Amino acid sequence: MNEDSISLDGSENEEFKHEESSGLEEELLSGQNKRKLEKEAEATSGNKKSKVDYDKANLYKQPTAEEISRLRETEQLFNSNLFRLQIEQLLDEVKVKEKYKKLFNEWYVNLQNVFDELPEFQFNISELNKNLKNKLIKELINVHDSNLKTDQDVTVVLKKPQKYSFFGLHPMNAGIGRKYVVHVALTMPKESLFAGDYLNNRFNVKCSYYMSYIYVNLKKAKVCSSLVLETSVLQIVPNVSEKICINLHIVPPDNFFKLSKLEPNKNNIRENYFENSYGCNSSLVKTYGTPLYNSNFLHRLMLLSNYKSTEVILENLKNVQDGIKLLMVWLQHRGLFGDQYGFSELLLLKTITYLIMKRKINKHMSSYQVVRNFWVFISTTNWHETPISICEEVKPDSLKTFQECFDVVFLDETGFYNLAAFMYYEVYMKVRSEAELAVKCVDYITFDSFGGLFMNKMNPEIQYDALLILTDSEGFKNVYNSISEQEKCNYIGFHDRIIIKTILRNLRQGLCKRVSHVVPISSDNNGNEYITRITFGITLDHGNAFSMIEKGPEANTPEALEFKKYWGTLSECRRFIDGAICEAVYFPAKTLQEKRRIFQTIINYIVSKKLKVEKHHIIADQFEHMVVLPNCVNPFPTGTCEEGSLNVITSFDEISKILRDSKLPLDITTVQGASDVFCYTAPYPCIPTNHFWNKKVTTCTGNNIMFKEPFVDDFIPRYVETIECVIHLGMNSKWPQDLKALRYLQLGFYLELSKYLKQKEIVSQVRRDCLEVLYKGLVFQFRLYNPKEIAVLCKYTEPDGTVGFQETAESISLEYNLNTKPKLIGALHGLQSQNPSFGPSSTIIKRWLRSQLIDEYHIPDIVIDLLNANLFINSASYNTANLPQVAFLRFLKFVASTNWKLQQIIVNFNMDLSKDSIDKFETSFQQMRHSYPALCIITPYDNGKSIFTKKCTSEILNRLSILAKSTYSVVEKSIYVPNLFVVKDLFVPNLEGYNVLIHLKECFNTRRYQQNRNSHRTISIQHYKPTLNTKIPIVNFSPANNYVTDLRHHYGNFALFFHDSYGGNVIAVLWKPKVLESKELKISHLEGRKLNNKSFILNIDAIVNDFAVLGEGLVDKIERPNS
């Protein structure tokens, strides 16, 4: 018996939990003060009396030589000190426990005994159908499940392995994973093989029987708790621990087969010996090369030697080993690690080996530098155009042959085996793209790149803009039948790969520049018979994806004929602006939402018409439908929010110009928008229309439509929202010091401005603190921003006559609404112009959150916009979201996994915050967390005060996280359901758990048309026509919203109130836990309570009755589910 005495003292991950990172973050944050805490503890134990003196001395104590050395090392070898701490912590987390190594070593003795006692016998395959007396062979036949055939009556010799050897990541101290995984190579005895067994599946057939032979004997020995027999691997779980997994591989003896016989252009299959539904012309098989069959054989042949050579190179290179661990985590989180649809384990190891040989990596580098150099190498090379070879003796002609046979070429030390033979070109390009993003991510100064790179798992639904899921087994046969006979022969035995490759080729041809990546993600097979499902991830190119024209070659050329043949009746001749006459395909679209669907139209054409695959669906825009009003007919084409917002902004620009042109004593320098419609994040922008009064219910007074008195409830007007705007004036030092006089002067300015607009035949009305203007069917509300007014509000006088300044609640509110918020809206508008999916994605988020009864009182609209903006600005680890739906899902993932107590959100618009400012904010946040709100958002415009998040309580944030986690979980599980039928259910609130439910009369709900459920009643908004009868309508009138506001004002100390502000008919009430406690008999405890024995308890019946009284006429009924 020959055995390798390879040590198994390597390091490996026992339980790497991706989602539980909060504890790690806390430890990292506290780690920075470790030295200080240790010194303080030492001082306390040594001399408690001199603690203060010691602290002062310790504060200015010089660092030790070890600390200086570590600091220099961090500056030279790592991105930052925090990054180093995070890497060290992660590597410590993935370290395998010694007990599993010990358990394995003890159990391995039993495995050796089984191998040593294996019985020996042989048989011919033709004899298996006859009656055999050998019981073991009968068991082997029952276990053996392979449809592989060969050209001979193969003699199978079964005896104990010639040797067995450990290999893989663990002997190299580079393994990760939830289990302790050990790979063992069993070398078949030479007596079992012949020199020509590489032909016609002979070795594969013998190997399958030998694997079954090992399986039967291990099962009989009862040393394993689980045995799974796969095509090329036997997976074993020992009976000592479920955390240990052994993968057994069958390999031929060293140097038994000639490598030259397995070159990619040589044929080693003379006939089709693969029984499945995908056949080929048997007479042509032997005329073409079999590159994938040869590569698969070479993989087994070179498996042990490739790992062994890598192990020698990586020996004692601890930082390189740690770098491999980090890279494996990085690839796994992106779904790009594996033999089928990503970087294989061996390819990763050999890439690191190549970089060491080329001196791009050395033993003095840190693990971070190893990882970074790998990313730089991947992102700056192209293995499709320029093959890589570890063997330097490979001839150019040989490399050219490999390029002709494979998409990606990376040759091992022999120069015969392409380690990337089974990698799709699209997968390789995706890895390149991710490497580029990773390099940018670690260089991005305001973003915690470590979390994005190594902690957050990227599922396909948030990694790609869209998913294409094909589920048509018969359709896949149609695809296979369309393939040329040469390709069928080249891919014999690997029909799934040529089908996927053909689909990719067609998608690339049709989508062309519209996509950056079309990546195969997964495929399901029904055994070896046929494919049942294939999933592709699609990343769009934001510059070309939504073009309405697919421009082809010039007319009357061979290329034009090919273009016309491909597109059929969709193609037509068109003349372009530059005078060129070309074949082109026109995709009509009236809205931006329809433009976003153009790529889906193309995919449906390719898959259904060209490939004949009928059963398929695309996951891309299902959530967009939830912000399109089904019960409202608009006067012009509208999709999500863009058309309505653009109309408002266009009218705003016009009225702003008119205002700036006014010749008033005080010059108007700037007019800013302060509503979310200006940044395209309003779910339902105002639609321009004529406003008339109903003579029975309303009347006209001056320029205003008003309710008649007494109020008649026969008719309730549709909700009309004002568009908030802010006017900035030129500098002037003549403003009065008295607040009352100053505001009267501002009122006079509004009056003069109204007179000026009347001359322009524009309807306006002066209010106490604003000017309302009706322009082109829209109601604008202009307010004056006067820094002097805020200064006067802050001014106070001491008893001794000293004048001081201190912020008040009114001054803070005024400064935010008139100065900070317009700046934020402007910055968000700029973000929308760079990322067109930002606005629509924010509308989906708002509609989802409001449908969960969390209204603006709990989480303001601007907070939602900023949280979403954070994901677009700090998206270094992602490709920018090109569709609103993927941005929405990323938001859910982000909110579900963020620890608000430990993390502040930095939204650095236009990089206005310097690195020093960011460091200052982060340090202050860590040291004085109690002085910040529960949700802290830092922007360049509020000096780190996070005014807009003051109302966001920790309880509501926890509720938000739970809702996001549940919603994302449902989407993740339902991703393969056609059209995501669960979407509508996700926008229906769960009313369980609330104490009181107040149902409102729908007829008094002025926003009922904003409900996202279909109704038999629809609202038709008429096209705006200039007319003298148009007056300013009743604005911001929502009885439901006003009722909720009154409830909070009067009963906010007793309960929390939840309501869907977009047409919700239910108000949910949740009692605060403390008010349900009994109170002792005191006058201060009397409010809202009743006497119960010798204490006060909450008078729930009376309060609920008050709810009904306060909402008399509006409330339909009140339920108490828990009573």
Q: What is the pLDDT of residue 527?
A: 65
Q: What is the pLDDT of residue 25?
A: 40
CA distance 856 to 844: 15
**Residue entry with tokens 């008033």:** 664
pLDDT single digits (tens) 635-647: 998 989 999 999 9
Long-range contacts of 610-613 (CB under 8 A, 24+ apart): 610/506, 610/510, 610/566, 611/475, 611/478, 611/479, 611/482, 611/502, 611/503, 611/506, 612/475, 612/478, 612/479, 612/482, 613/470, 613/472, 613/475, 613/476, 613/478, 613/479, 613/503
Q: What is the pLDDT of residue 31?
A: 42
The answer for residues whose C-beta is within 8 angstroms of residue 604's C-beta and 6 or more apart is 616, 618
CA-wise closest residue to 488 among 284, 294, 266, 276? 284
pLDDT single digits (tens) 539-584: 999 999 999 999 999 998 999 999 999 999 999 999 999 889 999 9
Report, as an integer, the average pLDDT of 726-753.
92
pLDDT single digits (tens) 496-514: 999 999 999 999 999 999 9
CA distance 728 to 730: 7
CA-wise closest residue to 515 among 491, 546, 473, 487? 546
Q: What is the pLDDT of residue 60?
A: 56
Q: What is the pLDDT of residue 466?
A: 97
pLDDT over threshold 90, residue 299: yes
SS percent in the chain: helix, strand, coil, step 5: 45, 15, 40
pLDDT single digits (tens) 1036-1058: 999 999 999 999 999 999 999 99
CA-wise closest residue to 779 among 677, 627, 637? 677
Q: What is the pLDDT of residue 276?
A: 67
Q: What is the pLDDT of residue 8?
A: 35
Report, as an integer, the average pLDDT of 92-101.
82
pLDDT over threshold 60, residue 19: no
Token pair of 973, please?
């599980």
Q: What is the pLDDT of residue 798?
A: 84
Amino acid at 325: K
Report, as an integer, the average pLDDT of 674-699.
91
pLDDT bin (cut points 50, 70, 90) of residue 44 is: very low
pLDDT over threshold 80, residue 39: no
What rounded mean pLDDT belongs to the chain? 88
**Residue entry with tokens 């569709």:** 883
Q: What is the pLDDT of residue 51?
A: 45
**Residue entry with tokens 């005896």:** 159
pLDDT over threshold 80, residue 445: no
Pairwise pLDDT comparison (67 vs 903), residue with the higher score: 903
Report, as an integer, the average pLDDT of 676-683.
97
Pairwise pLDDT comparison (1095 vs 891), residue with the higher score: 891
Report, as an integer, the average pLDDT of 247-266.
94
Among the listed ranges 3-12, 919-928, 1017-1026, 1029-1038, which one has the minimum average pLDDT value?
3-12
Amino acid at 911: M
Yes or no: say if 693 and 699 are a contact pair by the CB < 8 Å rule: yes
pLDDT single digits (tens) 215-254: 999 988 989 999 998 878 999 999 998 988 999 999 999 9
* Rg, the chain, Cα only: 36
Q: HSE on the CB side for 821, CA within 13 Å?
A: 25
pLDDT single digits (tens) 384-394: 999 999 999 99
Q: How many CB atoms lie within 10 A of CB 908?
A: 22
Secondary structure letter of residue 685 according to DSSP: P
Cα separation values, 221 from 114, 225, 772, 836, 965, Å: 7, 11, 88, 64, 46
pLDDT bin (cut points 50, 70, 90) of residue 63 is: confident
Architecture of the domain delimited by 80-93+303-442:
Orthogonal Bundle (1.10)
Angle between helix 838-851 and 642-660 (nearest 10): 110
Among the listed ranges 397-411, 437-451, 616-630, which one has the minimum average pLDDT value?
437-451
pLDDT over threshold 60, residue 1096: yes
According to CATH, the topology of domain 1-16+96-257 is: Beta Polymerase; domain 2 (3.30.460)
CA distance 158 to 995: 72
Q: What is the pLDDT of residue 46?
A: 47
The answer for residues whose C-beta is within 8 angstroms of residue 447's C-beta and 6 or more apart is 441, 874, 876
Percent above pLDDT 90 for the chain: 63
Strand runs labelled E in 1021-1074? 1055-1059, 1066-1071
Secondary structure letter of residue 791 according to DSSP: H
pLDDT single digits (tens) 471-500: 999 999 999 999 999 999 999 989 999 999
Secondary structure (3-state) at 60: coil
| CA–CA–CA angle 517, 519, 521 (5° rounding) | 150
For β-strands 233-238 and 244-251, DSSP reports them as: antiparallel
Q: What is the pLDDT of residue 897?
A: 92
pLDDT over threshold 90, residue 594: yes
Token pair of 947, please?
């005014």
Token pair of 98, please?
């010694």
Helix (H) / strand (E) containing 606: none
Architecture of the domain delimited by 990-1119:
2-Layer Sandwich (3.30)
Percent above pLDDT 70 for the chain: 91
pLDDT over threshold 70, residue 22: no
Report, as an integer, the average pLDDT of 670-684.
96
Chain centroid to CA 729: 44
CA-wise closest residue to 957 among 909, 906, 908, 894? 894
Pairwise pLDDT comparison (336 vs 176), residue with the higher score: 336
pLDDT bin (cut points 50, 70, 90) of residue 841 is: very high
Q: How many CB atoms lie within 10 A of CB 517?
A: 21
Report, as an integer, the average pLDDT of 847-860.
97
Longest Cα–Cα distance in the chain: 116
Token pair of 410, please?
């990376």
The answer for residues whose C-beta is within 8 angstroms of residue 353's C-beta and 6 or more apart is 309, 310, 313, 314, 390
pLDDT bin (cut points 50, 70, 90) of residue 697 is: confident
pLDDT over threshold 50, residue 10: no
pLDDT over threshold 90, residue 9: no
Buried b (16+ CB within 10 A) or exposed e, 822-861: bbbbbbbbebbeebbbbbbbbbbbbbbbbbbbbbbbbbbb
Amino acid at 990: N
Yes or no: say if 186 and 164 are a contact pair by the CB < 8 Å rule: yes
Report, as an integer, the average pLDDT of 261-289.
84
What order do you get walking across the sheet with 466-470 strand by strand?
515-526, 530-540, 466-470, 616-619
CA-wise closest residue to 18 among 128, 178, 230, 180? 178
pLDDT bin (cut points 50, 70, 90) of residue 783 is: very high
Task: Please spell the DSSP secondary structure of 735-779, one letter per residue.
Answer: --SSHHHHHHHHHHHHHHHHHHHHHTT-EEEE-SS-EEEEETTEE
Token pair of 1094, please?
């010798």
pLDDT bin (cut points 50, 70, 90) of residue 23 is: very low
Among the listed ranges 126-140, 243-257, 704-718, 815-829, which one has the minimum average pLDDT value?
126-140
Q: What is the pLDDT of residue 33?
A: 43
Report, as an integer, the average pLDDT of 1052-1065.
95
Report, as an integer, the average pLDDT of 1090-1100.
86
